[in-house]
Chains A and B, each alone.
Chain A
Amino acid sequence: MSLLFAQLLTGLADAATLFLVASGLSLIFGVTRIVNFSHGSFYMLGAFIGYSLMQVLPGMFGFWASVLLAGVAVGLIGVIVEICVLRPIYRAPELFQLVATFGVILIIQDVALFTWGADDLLGPRAPGLTGIVRIMGEPVPKYDLALIAITPLVLFSLWYMITKTRVGILVRAATQDREMVGALGVNQAWLFTGVFFLGAMLAGLGGAIQLPKGGADLLMDFNILAAIFVVVVIGGMGSLPGAYAAAVLISVLNVYGVTYIPQSTLVLMFVVMAVVLMIKPFGLFGREEVAGEHGQVGEPERPIKPAGPRGRLMVAGLIFLLALIPLSGSNFAQILTTDIITFALFAASLHFILGLGGLVSFGHAAYFGGGAYVAALLVTHLGANMEIAFVLAPFGAALGAVMIGWLCMRRTGVYFAMLTLAFAQLIWSLVYQWDEFTGGDDGLVDIWPAAWLNGTSVYYYFTMLFGIGGILALRHVAHSPFGYALRASRDSTRQAEATGIHTKRVQWAAFSFAGAMAGLAGALFVFSKGSVFPTELEIAKSFDGLIVVFLGGVKTLSGGVVGAASLELVKDVLTRFEYWRLSLGVLIIVVVILAPNGIVGTLHKLGERLGMTGKTEDR
């Protein structure tokens, strides 16, 4: 009994960090409608800056001053991000802003690497709170008690600010209708900046305050991201008490989990999330998000058209050129092109659900990596032939997509996005933690193609056949009646339903089909590399896909493919530099700001302006 209580206290203390960071994310989303992916990076910066300050400022006063200053510093960094990166693109399609915040993640990663080095830093202990207290005979760190006391205070202050002050009223009003708030004489630009400051500061505080319990390292940003998404989804987007309750729930269960089922640690929170969503689809304290209620409906979609004769000729020409590459004899060119085609198929499958289905999946890597792992596991454990493993991989990925899709389809918009991310993390943690079956961090190796395919050029043609075949299949489906139904469901759910389309089922099928195609890409990938590691399932991989789709152009069919080719080529060049993430991050942000229609969309518009191509629509 006393042990259970002590564990409860530990859980409550752990909830402090989670709550601080998640409430900031929730706050920023509430007002700006931006899912700030760089929130994990703000948290990481809070830890690093707090660490440095604690080296300089002595004693108990110095410790708490460092925590506060780290929060303020990160808040100011948030302001810089808001003004320089987000302000120019508030009018761009909503999801484009996600890509920009992803650019911010990359930049902050390299800045942190440059400033604090690659080594993990062990957090200093809090002066005056270093010992333990015995509660019912169990040792409880004093610092935990401090955290348990501080969190409700923060919750109360935030709640008071939001519900009782003029600023809070304005913030809530802006959450609903920004334009109207502006028309009533409120400078909403500064309101946004203010909210960004507060949200980033909370993340920074969270990073600094956890130092005595943990430390600072370069993986913190992605590590906390899934957890705070889970907290926000469980608690209900925009609800502060919800974020607190969810943070406590997750943290306490996690402590018990570590004690009684140690293998479950990474998986547990996703299970909790799934259960909560089954019972309360909008989270503990959340309410339904209605699309468009904030006057945020974007431009009408341009209808896509099958490629004309000229387009077909160009594609045929491109395929012909690709087929010539092995004749050059360059291994490098073949391997690079294999990678590009594989990645292009992955991106095209994501584009299929995102662009045509309007379903923003943050966890598409689950099906790419999933396909790769299905093939690798079949080969490793069952000694399956390469051919069988290759054929079964897309089905395995599709099966995963069917199950995860069924759960995620219960929600829409940003909740759907976060759910897909959370389930992708669930798959990742399963693979990462289940050493004896999946090889864990060491991955699975020796997964080579069958003898008749063993050879760079042969496998290159094999990739061309299935990779380009897959992309063409996706295009074909896009122009089929099913594709129409899918686009109708995206553009107007109600009207689609009224014409007899079961929108959820159509979207679910599309999600599963996209999963299968991503799995096919994964299978091509694993046999070309001969190995697979958990990195193929990571958030970063999903984000790569998202970036590619957005950079290529969401609203154009070829967007995913063009984006994939561009990113792979750019990465190939940039990764030769030490701080390539920084360059890539800056590049992404510049492209997002300068070419908000993506590469293909921008070329289209340029073409229209120069009179080279016909108008793609009649207005």
Chain B
Amino acid sequence: MIEVDGINSYYGKAHILNDLSFSIGAGEVVSMLGRNGAGKTTTLKSIMQLIRPQSGTVSFQGREITRLAPHQVAKLGLGYVPEERRIFTDLTLMENLEVGRQPFREGAPEWTVDILFDIFPNLKERRHNRGKALSGGEQQMLTIARTLMGNPICLLLDEPSEGIAPVIVEQMVDTILNIKKQGVTVLLSEQNLHFARLVADRAIIIESGEKRFEGSFAELESQPEVMEAYLSV
């Protein structure tokens, strides 16, 4: 589904990703783990082409997307949910969903406003509220719902559990499992190992922009030195 092959990405002069390679299969939920500043967000942005890798390639469904603009990547069926939520605070909840809307896409589940309101019942009550009036948890739900309105084949989720209340975190786990059940491939970044284990099939550990581990959670737990070295556990 996604092939990342030897990408190098920079922020200005700072070298963030260093020859990073991995691949995600169709229908998988994979979690990138690593500390703050390890390069998780940059990886997702580099896939989305919000940051252009200076070398290396990213392919999606066998097609190279490294030179495309972000909106072209999105049109191919990659959905991006940013870390800082970035909802449109001056727009109502319904308008936020409208911005994310894209036509139905072959090979992906179709999401409608009604289906999304079933998954996120809180959002339904607040559909005419402006984005800025929503709580942090509601905003987090809205960013995911907004991206799902684009009927993505694959979802890139940046730190979905960050900065929301524990109750909402449980809801988030259900949501991601639900999305997986619909057949959407998910690549998420996480700092929270417990959260990642609940939702993901596989883990990739990143440190200083390099891949340090790739495998199942069982394999990861059999290597406590890896967990200790790269995760804040």
Stretch in contact with the other chain, from A114-122, A179-187, A388-396, A414-422: A179-187
Taking CB atoms, residues of chain A closer than 8 Å to B100 are 184-185
CA distance in complex: A169, B98 (Å): 8
Taking CB atoms, residues of chain B closer than 8 Å to A186 are 71, 99
Q: Does A497 contact B (CB under 8 A)?
A: no
Q: Is the CB of A181 within 8 A of B99?
A: yes
Stretch in contact with the other chain, from A138-146, A170-178, A329-337, A555-563: A170-178
Interface string of B26-50 (1 = CB under 8 A from A): 0000000000000000000000101
Q: Is the CB of A176 within 8 A of B88?
A: yes
Most chain B CB neighbours (cut-off 10 Å) among A175, A176, A184, A299: A184
Minimum distance in angstroms from B112 CB to a CB of chain A: 16
Interface string of B141-153 (1 = CB under 8 A from A): 0000011001000
Taking CB atoms, residues of chain A closer than 8 Å to B98 are 166, 169
Q: Is the CB of B89 within 8 A of A176?
A: yes
Q: Does B111 contact A (CB under 8 A)?
A: no
Q: Is the CB of A169 within 8 A of B71?
A: no
CA distance in complex: A179, B86 (Å): 10
Stretch in contact with the other chain, from B74-82, B177-185, B192-200: B74-82
User: Which residues of A in the span 176-233 have a Cβ within 8 Å of any Cβ on B?
Assistant: 176-177, 179-189
User: Which residues of B in the span 62-108 have a Cβ within 8 Å of any Cβ on A?
Assistant: 69-72, 74-75, 80, 82, 86, 88-91, 95-96, 98-102
Q: From the candidates A166, A176, A179, A619, name the one contacting B70 in the complex (CB within 8 A).
A: A179
Q: Does B166 contact A (CB under 8 A)?
A: no
Q: Is the CB of A182 within 8 A of B99?
A: no
Q: Is the CB of B88 within 8 A of A619?
A: no
Minimum distance in angstroms from B165 CB to a CB of chain A: 24
Nearest neighbor of A168 in chain B, beta-carbon distance? B95
Q: Is the CB of A179 within 8 A of B50?
A: yes
Q: Is the CB of B12 within 8 A of A619?
A: yes
Minimum distance in angstroms from B114 CB to a CB of chain A: 19
Q: Is the CB of B95 within 8 A of A169?
A: yes
Minimum distance in angstroms from A470 CB to a CB of chain B: 36
Taking CB atoms, residues of chain B closer than 8 Å to A169 are 91, 95, 98-99
Minimum distance in angstroms from A375 CB to a CB of chain B: 48
Q: From the candidates B13, B70, B89, B95, name the one contacting A183 in the complex (CB within 8 A).
A: B70
CA distance in complex: A189, B72 (Å): 12
CA distance in complex: A299, B150 (Å): 32
Q: Is the CB of A187 within 8 A of B89?
A: no
Taking CB atoms, residues of chain A closer than 8 Å to B13 are 619
Interface string of B5-30 (1 = CB under 8 A from A): 00000001110000000000000000
CA distance in complex: A172, B146 (Å): 16
Q: Is the CB of A185 within 8 A of B82?
A: no
Taking CB atoms, residues of chain B closer than 8 Å to A299 are 12
CA distance in complex: A599, B100 (Å): 42
Minimum distance in angstroms from B145 CB to a CB of chain A: 12
Taking CB atoms, residues of chain A closer than 8 Å to B95 are 169, 172-173
Q: Is the CB of A172 within 8 A of B88?
A: yes
Q: From the candidates B69, B74, B89, name the one contacting A184 in the complex (CB within 8 A).
A: B74
Minimum distance in angstroms from A187 CB to a CB of chain B: 5
Most chain B CB neighbours (cut-off 10 Å) among A169, A177, A179: A169
CA distance in complex: A170, B95 (Å): 9
Taking CB atoms, residues of chain B closer than 8 Å to A170 are 99
User: Which residues of A in the span 274-324 have a Cβ within 8 Å of any Cβ on B?
Assistant: 299
Taking CB atoms, residues of chain B closer than 8 Å to A166 are 98, 101
Q: Is the CB of A185 within 8 A of B50?
A: no
Most chain A CB neighbours (cut-off 10 Å) among B50, B71, B96, B100: B71
Q: From the candidates B69, B71, B90, B147, name the one contacting A176 in the complex (CB within 8 A).
A: B90
CA distance in complex: A176, B88 (Å): 7
Q: Is the CB of B50 within 8 A of A184?
A: no
Q: Is the CB of B91 within 8 A of A173?
A: yes
Minimum distance in angstroms from A262 CB to a CB of chain B: 44
Taking CB atoms, residues of chain A closer than 8 Å to B102 are 185
Q: Is the CB of A188 within 8 A of B71?
A: yes
Given contacts A169-B91, A176-B88, A177-B88, contact A183 B99 (CB under 8 A): no
CA distance in complex: A172, B90 (Å): 8
Given contacts A169-B99, A619-B13, contact A183 B91 (CB under 8 A): no
CA distance in complex: A188, B71 (Å): 8
CA distance in complex: A186, B71 (Å): 5
CA distance in complex: A170, B98 (Å): 8
CA distance in complex: A183, B13 (Å): 24
CA distance in complex: A172, B70 (Å): 19
Taking CB atoms, residues of chain A closer than 8 Å to B147 are 184
Nearest neighbor of B77 in chain A, beta-carbon distance? A185
Nearest neighbor of A190 in chain B, beta-carbon distance? B71
Given contacts A166-B98, A172-B91, contact A183 B75 (CB under 8 A): no
CA distance in complex: A172, B101 (Å): 15
Interface string of A322-357 (1 = CB under 8 A from B): 000000000000000000000000000000000000
Among all A-B residue pairs, the 10 with the closest Cβ atoms: A185-B74, A182-B70, A173-B99, A182-B71, A173-B88, A183-B80, A180-B86, A187-B71, A169-B95, A184-B100
* 20 extra A-B contacts, CB within 8 A, seeds A172-B95, A619-B14: A173-B91, A173-B96, A173-B99, A176-B89, A176-B90, A176-B91, A179-B70, A180-B88, A182-B71, A183-B74, A183-B80, A184-B71, A184-B74, A184-B146, A184-B150, A185-B75, A185-B150, A186-B71, A187-B72, A299-B12
Q: Which residues of B contact A (CB under 8 A)?
A: 12-14, 48, 50, 69-72, 74-75, 80, 82, 86, 88-91, 95-96, 98-102, 146-147, 150
16 A-B pairs (CB sep. < 8 Å):
A170-B99, A172-B91, A173-B95, A177-B86, A180-B86, A180-B88, A182-B69, A182-B70, A182-B74, A183-B71, A184-B99, A184-B147, A185-B75, A187-B69, A299-B12, A619-B13
